[in-house]
Structure 1
Amino acid sequence: MDKSCYFFFALICLVVLFPAFVLASYCGPIIADDNDRLRFALNLEFLEAEFFLFGAHGEGIDSIEPTFAGGGPPPIGAQKANLDPVSHQIIEEFGYQEIGHLRAIIKTVGKFPRPLYDLSPQNFARVIDKAFGYKLVPPFNPYQNTINYILASYIIPYMGLVGYVGTIQELVSPTTKELAASLLGVEAGQDAVIRALLYERAYEQVRPYNITVAEFTNKISYLRNELAMCGIKDEGIIVPSQLGAEQRTKSNVLSADANSLSYARTPPEILRILYGTGSEYKPGGFLPNGGNGNVAQSFLPRV
């Protein structure tokens, strides 16, 4: 093959692959109004409410505020978790807090139907397997015991936290800004509680895998960074000192940047993680049919 053929082949590859790469790794702001930006958060709030309520009680939103679901389908595979008494109280409180978040958002900017969520043990096992790069045996089951459930919870509220940080920066209305800030406060609190519970057991082995709690958090955080493709915005509970607060600590109970400020993520970054595909255009993972609302739906093919 002569040089002209090589050049032509390279040009074709660039034309075909470059647009997909750019779209998949876009890290800038999106175009949306305040209402759509805040409604996007419902995709995470529904997820958290269902996971925490089912974990504590074995039943979700439909048993407490069924109108909030807007006719959307119940989650796949959600179960009551085998929690110790203290963890049960914490998770129960988180679940009720998420109901309040849903009410506040719906009252302010309206709602859309609850999307279909996959909260099955099999889906969580797929996430953990992807984080480690191999299949754990037996498969990871978030509902089996307290530590598994708290590790699974580590996956979720942090997404709400960084999502609200990113959203507030783009909001215009004082009303939506105030609401987003209030929601952020509780999401940050939930994430801090979960991280503190895990930090207390950082060097314990997660049975039967002989893998420490800290390593689980590091692998999960690395996976989220890899899927979102917009740099390091997620860190485990034990980090190298250069990533610790003022580069003086390896503890990382609160994940934050070099100035101890919260990281921010955009809706496309969040969808890449929730879908587990690394693409806001390809649903899967926790949202097998994709997210709802104008923002999430704008990335999906028109039917």
Structure 2
Amino acid sequence: MASPSFYVFIFIISLKLSQVLGTPNCGPIVANDIDRIQFAFNLEFLEAEFFLYGALGKGLDAIAPTFAAGGPPPVGAKKANLEPEVGKIIEEFAYQEVGHLRAIITSIGGIPRSKLDLSPQSFANLFDNAIGFKLNPPFDPYYDTVHYLLACYAIPYVGLVGYVGTIPSLTNETSRSLVASLLGVEAGQDAVIRTLLYERADQKVLPYNLTVATFTNRISWLRNKLGGCGNKDEGVKVPFSFGAENRTHSNVLSANSNSRSYARTPPEILRIIYGSGNEYKPGGFYPNGGGGNIARSFLPKA
């Protein structure tokens, strides 16, 4: 089990990096309600496809094909080797994401699904960057329950903090109501995933000599580094100085010093999901960039 001093080290490094790298595009952006909500499609599509394939071995094209609006199918996604109980949870999450897509489409209209890279290699690159060296064998999110839950840890939380950041900028009451209702479920999903990982926090992730808690801390560290706007992400075990009221090492819910949710802007989110630390440079899960007016506005003009 890692010592409290290890967790202190991880978070101090995270904060120092954010100071050294600066805070580019950390302020608000100018956009209307529709563009802000449609930006969320980037995460909703990602979550829907990853959960559907992980639980069922098939994606949105088999469940609700019109929702993709002609966008290309994801690359490399497949059924995960999940324990039965976890498999049912992920299946429920998958259907919830389908519902989220429907809610947005019927409320404001949809956008085509962007090309998504959900291949083992895409996740292997992410986890290598988080850990700081090439894992051997490469990390495979579909290998077993623990690997899949860690891969899940890398995705829904980004959508959650995006919704938290979006709500204050929405001008229409209907828009705020829609996003608040989506946020409630996204927060619940993240809490379940984090709880399942916390229960396994001191377990070694085979075949690596690293614990589940270490993986979550390193993924959070990477997202803080890529986001570039300070500490807005924490693993499932933290030093007291980061725990609720500075009284606990447990961190099932990631929150600030007043136990409020962190918020991220669209540029921060793009820097994270592209894995490049640059909202102008696609990659990671989005080899061709995200969809919608906000994400496309950062891409080079043809």
Q: Same fold (TM over 0.5)?
A: yes
> What SS does the corresponding residue of 2:257 show, helix, strand or coil?
coil
Cα offset, 1:244, TM superposition: 0.4
Higher relative CO (Cα under 8 Å, sequence separation at least 6) belongs to 2
Per the alignment, do residues 24 and 245 of structure 1 end up closer, same or farther by CA in structure 2, a change over 3 Å counting? closer
Correspondence for 2:148: 149
Kept after mapping to 2: 8 A contact 1:56/1:88: yes
**How many angstroms apart in 2 are the aligned matches of 1:143 and 1:193?**
19
Correspondence for 2:78: 79
1:75-154 equivalent positions in 2, closer than 5 A: 75-154=74-153
1:206-221 equivalent positions in 2, closer than 5 A: 206-221=205-220
Aligned CA-pair RMSD: 1.2
**How many angstroms apart in 1 are the aligned matches of 2:256 and 2:249?**
14
Correspondence for 1:292: 291
Cα offset, 1:26, TM superposition: 1.4
> What SS does the corresponding residue of 1:205 show, helix, strand or coil?
coil
Cα offset, 1:23, TM superposition: 10
Per the alignment, do residues 33 and 122 of structure 1 end up closer, same or farther by CA in structure 2, a change over 3 Å counting? same
**How many angstroms apart in 2 are the aligned matches of 1:267 and 1:260?**
23
Cα offset, 1:210, TM superposition: 1.3
**How many angstroms apart in 1 are the aligned matches of 2:118 and 2:247?**
38
The TM-score with structure 2 as length reference comes to: 0.92
Correspondence for 2:6: none
Q: Summarize deviations over 1:156-205 as a string: whole Å, max 9, x none.
A: 11011100000001101000000000000000000000000000010000
Correspondence for 2:57: 58
Kept after mapping to 2: 8 A contact 1:117/1:286: yes
Q: Greater CA radius of gyration, 1 or 2?
A: 1
Matched positions, count: 283
**How many angstroms apart in 2 are the aligned matches of 1:180 and 1:53?**
22
**How many angstroms apart in 1 are the aligned matches of 2:252 and 2:23?**
31
Kept after mapping to 2: 8 A contact 1:24/1:279: no
Correspondence for 1:10: none
Q: Percent identity?
A: 67
Per the alignment, do residues 42 and 228 of structure 1 end up closer, same or farther by CA in structure 2, a change over 3 Å counting? same
Which consecutive residues of structure 2, in runs of 5 or more, have no partner in the other structure? 1-19
Moved more, 22-31 or 185-194: 22-31
Cα offset, 1:22, TM superposition: 9.9
**How many angstroms apart in 2 are the aligned matches of 1:128 and 1:23?**
24
Kept after mapping to 2: 8 A contact 1:24/1:280: no
Which letter maps to 1:290?
A: G
Which consecutive residues of structure 1, in runs of 5 or more, have no partner in the other structure? 1-20
Correspondence for 1:16: none
Q: Find out whether 1:67 has 2:61 as its counterpart.
A: no
Kept after mapping to 1: 8 A contact 2:23/2:229: no
The TM-score with structure 1 as length reference comes to: 0.92
Runs ≥4 in structure 1, deviation > 6 angstroms? 21-24
Correspondence for 1:178: 177
1:184-195 equivalent positions in 2, closer than 5 A: 184-195=183-194
Kept after mapping to 1: 8 A contact 2:22/2:228: no
Kept after mapping to 1: 8 A contact 2:165/2:263: yes
